[in-house]
A and B are shown apart, each in its own frame.
Chain A
Amino acid sequence: MDLSVQQFRSEAEQALLDLYERSVDALPGDASVADLRQSAIRTYAGLGLPHRRIEAWKYTDLRAAIAEIPPLLAESDAPVDGTAFEAAFGKAFAQLPAYRVVLVAGAVRTELSDVQGLRDAGVEFGALAQMLESPPEWLMASLDAASASGDDVLIALNTALMTGGVALRLPEGLTLQKPVHLIHLDGADTPGSVYTRNVLVAGEGASATVLESFGTLGRAGVQRNAVTTVSLAAKSAIHHIKLQREALETIHLNAWVANVGADARYDAFQVSMGAALARNQVSVRFAGKDAATDISGATLARGKQHCDTTLVVEHDVPACESRELFKLVLDDESRGVFQGKIVVARDAQKTDGKQMSQALLLSETAEFDSKPELEIYADDVVCGHGATSGQIDEDLLFYLRARGLPEAQARALLIQAFVGEAFEALDDEAIGDAFAAVSAEWLGSPAE
């Protein structure tokens, strides 16, 4: 196969092609899936890994950051149990009442998962690897749509190399009473790459909360590429929530891609606190009128962590509403990136789009880069964006200390208050409490 479109390739870029060549025969899927993989790897071969001269990757130079490509993680026998969940995500999170689905190296660990519960509730559910062998139409449609988006290298690589994940469809009118919790827990003794694809499809009027948590076992470097596509039919609602608390050796690449039908609601919430380098993409396209999205979350980074959140909202149709609020707490030499793009098509009148990112810098060497982009082709719209960055307010700190709070506790309280505003997007109390607990743990103060 001729894959030499790109003129120069870094070692890692070549290694990714080699990884594909070595693995392709064993990758799951029928002929149609194989075709998708083939065209995706060509896309990648043409573009290479994104670097800082690519506008969407201006602040996150993936080509420079990735030196080696570890082999695909095999399904391991690493012990995964309640203790491992608590170690990875903290007690409150690990114990959230949910239909739990545990994925190790992309494979569903059935003995740890409540697949039966999901099916009893009326959800069509399958492990992706099996489903790819004879994909139902709705699954193929989602895979095709993701591939059609073209030049996103992260997604192209995912399509080429995906080994697992889940496919989940909510039939028309179904409201799931408990959240679905997809637990991605990987790595142990040897470094490895993990490519997972989750496909969520909500039928008309269906609604559910889907949590995804990402953690690691042990400290061996994991390179994760995880993509979730969400397709929302008219009047459906998905609340999509993520906790990323991976070991500091991890490279975490994640993309959520949502296509939102009329009168539907897609809300995304993400908290990132782990990994050496994290790239979180959320892209939402409105395909039907009167739909809405709220994308919010927080980044907590210290040391030399690099965390990039890149959002794209495409208002293709009239009368949709988008809200974005991200809070970044950056300590030491960490770097936080927020890129938010709102595109309003010519026909998308009555669009209401707002975006805000706020960084709290806890050290002088921490860095916050913010890039809002509004591309507006309609005239009757309300769009706004803002970005702020600042330090802890010394007057507030003094007020708290004058009331007896030791400095560390006073700081932690102020940081939590700063982040807390983004947490207001969580209407489920148990989930809100679980996030408050993990962020308190990050701050080193005991949870209340």
Chain B
Amino acid sequence: MLEIKNLHAKVDGREILNGLDLTIPAGEVHAIMGPNGSGKSTLSYVLAGKDDYEVTDGSVTWKGEDLLAMEPDERAAAGVFLAFQYPMEIPGVATMTFLRSAVNAVRKARGEEEYSTPDFLRTVKEKAKDLKIDMEMLRRPLNVGFSGGEKKRNEILQMSLLEPGLCILDETDSGLDIDALRIVADGVNALRSPERCMLVITHYQRLLNHIVPDRVHVLSKGRVARSGGPELALELEKSGYADYGDEATAA
């Protein structure tokens, strides 16, 4: 479903991704782990289409289409969703207004009908309840004054509203307390389906107890250094990234 081949990407003239290969078949959940600075967030930004990241080589194919040729909003419409490591605060934009503009923009681009106000409200209420998000919070400006955990839950709310085909979660577990972690993981698991695939970036095995991955990849120095089954995450938890030391410090 997602096919990344020999991906090279630069930021500010510095090469961060360095020949990355990764394939995620439909229905699978892949986890990416790796030392700080190894390029995990960079990969997620490149997939979502952030401007400052210049792809110098390689290709990314999503459902048979060239993902790199698309604008960020076209990627969203095509089903790519990135839950940000650091969600943005936007003063002056009510969260609800934002959610509605986003959902309707994506629906429009997909040739679906826009939600009516009552339908939209009902849908948001339902999903917010599952994620234990207070409706009052959604009346506030987007992410402004939200706690770290609230921001992350808000990301998952957006994800479930936008019904993506590729879910990229960049350290969604960081900053979550134990209960919130379970709520978020349940939210993510509810979206698992044969038509979707997921890329879960995390530093901790803890999240992977809840969201059990099909494959685990270790990223180091901008490329996949090792891949394995869920047991690889357990192994890393014990041994750390010492084996990837050279590369990690070089990154």
A404 touches B106 (CB 8 A): yes
A143 vs B23: C-alpha distance when bound (angstroms): 80
Contact with A along B74-110 (1 / 0, CB 8 A): 0111000110100110111100011001110110010
Q: Which of A396, A416, A418 has the most CB of B within 10 A?
A: A396
Asked whether B51 is an interface residue with its Cβ less than 8 Å from the other chain, the reply is yes
A27 vs B39: C-alpha distance when bound (angstroms): 77
A409 touches B90 (CB 8 A): no
Interface residues of B in 187-232 (CB under 8 A from A): none
Quick one: closest B residue to A422, CB to CB? B92
Quick one: closest B residue to A424, CB to CB? B92
Q: Which of A404, A410, A413, A421 has the most CB of B within 10 A?
A: A404
Total inter-chain residue pairs, C-beta < 8 Å: 75
Interface residues of A in 397-412 (CB under 8 A from B): 398-407, 409-410
Interface residues of A in 368-416 (CB under 8 A from B): 394-396, 398-407, 409-410, 413-414, 416
Q: What residues on B are CB-neighbors of A404 within 8 Å?
A: 73, 76-77, 102-103, 105-106, 109, 162
Given A399-B90, A414-B90, A421-B92, are A405 and B73 also a contact pair (CB < 8 Å)? yes
Contact with A along B120-150 (1 / 0, CB 8 A): 0000000000000000000001000000000
Contact with B along A299-327 (1 / 0, CB 8 A): 00000000000000000000000000000
Asked whether A71 is an interface residue with its Cβ less than 8 Å from the other chain, the reply is no
Interface residues of A in 406-443 (CB under 8 A from B): 406-407, 409-410, 413-414, 416-418, 420-421
A contact residues, total (Cβ < 8 Å):
23
Q: What residues on A are CB-neighbors of B72 within 8 Å?
A: 398, 401-402
A405 touches B102 (CB 8 A): yes
Question: Which of B73, B88, B103, B105 interacts with A396 by CB under 8 Å?
Answer: B88
B101 touches A409 (CB 8 A): yes
Question: Which of B73, B77, B81, B87 interacts with A407 by CB under 8 Å?
Answer: B73
A406 touches B88 (CB 8 A): no
Q: What residues on A are CB-neighbors of B81 within 8 Å?
A: 402
A418 vs B141: C-alpha distance when bound (angstroms): 12
Quick one: closest A residue to B50, CB to CB? A398
Asked whether B49 is an interface residue with its Cβ less than 8 Å from the other chain, the reply is yes
Q: Shortest distance in angstroms between B158's beta carbon and chain A's nearest beta carbon?
A: 6
Q: What residues on A are CB-neighbors of B71 within 8 Å?
A: 401, 407
Question: Which of A394, A401, A417, A420 interacts with B73 by CB under 8 Å?
Answer: A401
Quick one: closest B residue to A416, CB to CB? B92
Quick one: closest A residue to B99, CB to CB? A403
Quick one: closest B residue to A448, CB to CB? B97
Quick one: closest A residue to B72, CB to CB? A401
Q: What residues on B are CB-neighbors of A409 within 8 Å?
A: 101, 105
Asked whether B48 is an interface residue with its Cβ less than 8 Å from the other chain, the reply is yes
Q: What residues on B are CB-neighbors of A420 within 8 Å?
A: 92
A416 vs B92: C-alpha distance when bound (angstroms): 8
A417 touches B84 (CB 8 A): no
A402 touches B92 (CB 8 A): no
Q: What residues on A are CB-neighbors of B141 within 8 Å?
A: 417
Question: Which of A405, A414, A448 interacts with B105 by CB under 8 Å?
Answer: A405
Question: Which of A398, A399, A401, A417 interacts with B91 by CB under 8 Å?
Answer: A417
Q: Which of B72, B90, B106 has the most CB of A within 10 A?
A: B72
Q: What residues on A are CB-neighbors of B91 within 8 Å?
A: 417, 421
Q: What residues on A are CB-neighbors of B77 within 8 Å?
A: 404
Q: What residues on B are CB-neighbors of A405 within 8 Å?
A: 73, 101-102, 105
A406 touches B73 (CB 8 A): yes
A400 vs B84: C-alpha distance when bound (angstroms): 12
A448 vs B52: C-alpha distance when bound (angstroms): 32
Q: What residues on B are CB-neighbors of A414 within 8 Å?
A: 90, 93
Q: What residues on B are CB-neighbors of A396 within 8 Å?
A: 88, 90
Q: Which of A401, A409, A414, A418 has the most CB of B within 10 A?
A: A401
Quick one: closest A residue to B159, CB to CB? A403
B48 touches A417 (CB 8 A): no
Quick one: closest B residue to A423, CB to CB? B92
Interface residues of B in 1-51 (CB under 8 A from A): 48-51
Binding site for B on A (CB under 8 A): 394-396, 398-407, 409-410, 413-414, 416-418, 420-421, 448
4 smallest beta-carbon distances between A and B, as pairs: A417-B92, A404-B106, A404-B76, A401-B72
A-B contacts besides A403-B76, A404-B77, 19 pairs, CB < 8 Å: A394-B51, A394-B52, A396-B90, A398-B50, A400-B98, A401-B49, A401-B71, A401-B76, A404-B73, A404-B76, A404-B102, A404-B105, A405-B101, A405-B102, A406-B73, A410-B73, A414-B90, A416-B92, A421-B92
- A-B contacts, 30 listed (Cβ < 8 Å): A394-B51, A394-B52, A396-B88, A396-B90, A398-B49, A399-B90, A400-B98, A401-B72, A401-B73, A401-B76, A402-B49, A402-B72, A403-B102, A403-B158, A403-B162, A404-B76, A404-B102, A404-B103, A405-B73, A405-B101, A405-B102, A405-B105, A406-B73, A410-B73, A416-B92, A417-B91, A417-B92, A417-B93, A418-B92, A421-B92
